[in-house]
Structure 1
Amino acid sequence: MSEPPRFDRGHTDDLMSFLAASPSPYHAVANTAERLEKAGFRQVAETDAWDGSSGGKYVLRGGAIVAWYVPEGAVPHTPFRIVGAHTDSPNLRVKPLPDSGAHGWRQVAVEIYGGPLLNSWLDRDLGLAGRLTLRDGTTRLVNVDRPLLRVPQLAIHLDRSVSAEGLKLDKQRHLQPIWGLGDDVRDGDLIAFLEETSGIAAGEVTGWDLMVHSVEAPAYLGRDKELVAGPRMDNLLSVHAGAAALAAVAGSGAGLPCIPVLAAFDHEENGSQSDTGADGPLLGSVLERSVFARGGSYEDRARAFAATVCLSSDTGHAVHPNYAERHDPTHHPRVNGGPILKVNVNNRYATDGSGRAVWAAACEKADVPFQSFVSNNSMPCGTTIGPITAARHGIKTVDIGVAILSMHSARELCGTDDPHLLANSLVAFLEG
């Protein structure tokens, strides 16, 4: 097996392009699929019969993608090495009746998705992206990537209490963006605008999954450009690294002792319970069908799963210089200090001691430093797809990621080196 490439800061440049081109989960999986196609992967339909041939394959379903590479000589009970991530980010999503307005302002009715930092969406130039479903059942991606909407904040002159009591936002009343002027608000105006923008005949759109996004481009930040500011790092940073690592491992030749997999799910930010979420059947179905397509039995499936390991890769919290007391006093992950290992003894993360050993071996092989993260005992701990994957499939799972600031903001912050350090560690892990 030839040596896979080592990623450097060029990987971070590419990440910034990926973030800008992926304003919705549907765009993220389409861009991931395009990158895998260039690496020799091919799409297989879930409705078709699968063969057991070697090579790279992937399945697309909504905002999720599962891709895997079967090396020459793989047997039915060959175990999998999985990088798990998610494609969705907290944001504002368009309601079924999107056209609204008041007092001469035309507005778009939105619903809060996940747990965004609401104030980060105020006074920001916003575009609109997602997918449109046509009368014939086909879907079309749409991306209005220009200043189209804005959620205007109330002037301080009209709410002096902000200075003393802080900003208080009502999710129903205060987060509805404006997109024009006029008293004649008609049902269908927004969708008609998107049909015209997308070159779709009037009245052809019968369904939509739309969300707003900041149109400000990702950028390097800091005196020495050692930081990156951009949208949707939680968790497209991991999706991008996982896709790059899978393509690198697949291109390095035969001889892999395992089947490397990328599983990027939707709906992590609201619980993962969907047909495209980590708590749904997608990953298990793909892995089982891969075993059976290679002539395997249920016994082979059990043997493969028993030896399988998953890295649940998601962003975590870097120590915040203005709120250091919110972190565990002995665990202060720093940006550009390498990826983090997430631990929680109450199983909010899936990592245990044996999982830590797997991760440490991969980082040692890749010559990548890593840090440990644990929550302050007085603070509630977040969670990931890790415990869900472990419980649903009986697969050893380890929670890892990259430390960032401003998590769940419309614009997040990471170190310039951490994305490529993560990708290199994922290559070593996927090699088995």
Structure 2
Amino acid sequence: MKQSAEFVTLMQQNRYHIVQFHTPEFIMSSTSPHNLNRGLLDFIDASPTPFHAVANMKAALEAAGYKPLNEKNSWGTLSTGSYYVTRNDSSIIAFNLPDINLAEAGFQMVGAHTDSPCLKVKPQPGTVKNSFWQLGVEVYGGALLNPWFDRDLSMAGRVSFADADGQLSHALVNFKKPVAAIPSLAIHLDRDVNQNRSINPQLHLPPIVLQTEEGDKPDFRALLEQQLRSEQGELTVGKVLDYEICFYDTQPSALVGINEDFISAARLDNLLSCYIGLQALLAGSKNKANLLVCTDHEEVGSVSTSGAQGTFLPAVLQRLAQDNESYQRIIQHSLLISADNAHGIHPNYADRHDEQHGPILNKGPVIKSNANQRYATNSQSSARFRQLCELADVPVQDFVVRTDMGCGSTIGPLTASNLGVHTLDIGVPTFAMHSIRELAGSQDTSHLYNALKQFFN
């Protein structure tokens, strides 16, 4: 599938250069099931990092008339309209401000996260072994490591550099083409690999980037400088000072199956929820106080300035409320739907599920519950969502982890405890969560979209 996103440099503000794309037709086109899925695939392929995902969402919001806000500036009393604000350029909040009393109405909020497990390049990464230049990596989040082997990998992320005037600047880069690989060890050298394969992340994961000649000393920062000059010809790039770069699989997202029943892609957890939440927000009523929040660092606990356990969302809501009494009332009148993928029942491993709570792909979004508050759902919030799904004619499923197994978590409990807002956890069922390539149902995107659109209307 040819990627339709064309990246260009659109703005230069405060020495920060954001690489964005001309809003492609899929962002604003008809949200028929086919267009919704094609739009999702293009969005994922155009968003190899949280920085790129947020830049792409910004472009779509601006095309729809949303106005940017800056946390460094005074907001005063905002007029009615639609706005967005970012933090760290990896988290974003977009919202409508209608002519209503927010303290009486509250917000309809949908939350998701922009990050996914990956391999991040270390600060001093380059090593040469047996003539091969490799880059040291850290494992970000709870990644399934085996699928990273024997893939065509590229790199993308954010680079900080000094320009010609010595001023600090930042820009996004995306190599796009395959630039690295992590080859498996041949079975002839590890006869027990199919019975017992353990991976040492320090020893076995550094990708091979190039083969060197004797005496060569490749410089990763020089490579980034070259890439910056290639991508952003208008910028004067001086010395690269630092970076946040990760590897990603270059295989394009796809609809798979005889009847295209499935979506196969990287980062479905949780760019699927970000994209569908964005589309639902854009289709939602402008007479409602609707809000979409997509935060970074969920895969590592959300403890950061731009994570769900940070101050981003409460700070924005406090500024909109303008006084503590109104803020507390807004919170109590609001509902947050935490949208994050759920574990679909795998036909080859059905015993890993509670047989009464095994979600099926393409059978609708899943209400996630946990008695130990690993999910924020309670009977009140789940009843509200079931009612929404009935009104939207959307099927709904339930997920509860086996009682003898541990349960993951989401931004739901963190946001609920941080704000005190009524919250529930939902998501579409998925296979191979946290793999380099995940699988979801192609009908579930429409199911989730229709449910969230009903919520926003």
- TM-score, with normalisation over the residues of structure 2? 0.89
Once superposed, what is the RMSD of the aligned Cα atoms?
Answer: 1.4
1:24 maps to 2:59: no
User: In the alignment, residue 46 of structure 2 is paired with which amino acid?
Assistant: A
> Which residue pairs with 1:283 in the alignment?
313
CA distance in 2 between partners of 1:89 and 1:109 (Å): 19
Q: How does 1:371-390 map to 2 (within 5 A)?
A: 371-390=397-416
1:304 maps to 2:330: yes
CA distance in 1 between partners of 2:446 and 2:168 (Å): 39
- Name which of 243, 254, 270 aligns with 1:219: 254
Q: Secondary structure at the match of 2:270?
A: helix
Compared with structure 1, are the counterparts of its residues 75 and 228 closer, same or farther at alpha carbon in structure 2 (3 Å cutoff)?
closer
**Deviation per residue, 1:366-410 (Å, 9 max, x gap):** 111111111111111110010001101000110001101010000
- Name which of 83, 90, 104 aligns with 2:110: 83
CA distance in 2 between partners of 1:430 and 1:280 (Å): 25
> Which residue pairs with 1:229 in the alignment?
264
Q: Secondary structure at the match of 2:388?
A: helix
Query: How many residues are treated as equivalent by the alignment?
Result: 416
**Deviation per residue, 1:301-359 (Å, 9 max, x gap):** 11111111100100010000100000111112111101111011110001010011111
User: In the alignment, residue 385 of structure 2 is paired with which amino acid?
Assistant: W
What is the deviation of 1:91? 0.5
**5+ long unaligned stretches in structure 2:** 1-29, 230-234
What is the deviation of 1:71? 1.2
What is the deviation of 1:203? 4.2
State whether residues 77 and 301 of structure 1, in contact with CA within 8 Å, keep that contact through their aligned partners in structure 2.
no
**Deviation per residue, 1:74-133 (Å, 9 max, x gap):** 445430111010000001000000211211101111111001100010000000001001
State whether residues 192 and 202 of structure 1, in contact with CA within 8 Å, keep that contact through their aligned partners in structure 2.
no
CA distance in 1 between partners of 2:198 and 2:39 (Å): 37
> Which residue pairs with 1:116 in the alignment?
143
Q: Highest relative contact order (Cα 8 Å, sep 6+), 1 or 2?
A: 1
> Which residue pairs with 2:355 in the alignment?
329
Q: How does 1:55-134 map to 2 (within 5 A)?
A: 55-62=81-88, 63-134=90-161
Q: How does 1:14-413 map to 2 (within 5 A)?
A: 14-50=39-75, 51-62=77-88, 63-135=90-162, 136-164=167-195, 166-182=196-212, 183-184=214-215, 186=217, 189-199=219-229, 203-249=238-284, 252-254=285-287, 256=288, 259-292=289-322, 297-413=323-439
State whether residues 161 and 237 of structure 2, in contact with CA within 8 Å, keep that contact through their aligned partners in structure 1.
no
**5+ long unaligned stretches in structure 1:** none
State whether residues 65 and 264 of structure 1, in contact with CA within 8 Å, keep that contact through their aligned partners in structure 2.
yes
Q: Secondary structure at the match of 1:365?
A: helix
CA distance in 1 between partners of 2:161 and 2:445 (Å): 37
CA distance in 2 between partners of 1:392 and 1:73 (Å): 25
CA distance in 2 between partners of 1:123 and 1:184 (Å): 28
Q: Secondary structure at the match of 1:138?
A: strand
User: In the alignment, residue 144 of structure 2 is paired with which amino acid?
Assistant: L
What is the deviation of 1:163? 3.2
- TM-score, with normalisation over the residues of structure 1? 0.94
**Deviation per residue, 1:156-201 (Å, 9 max, x gap):** 111112133x2111011000000100144536x2221222122165
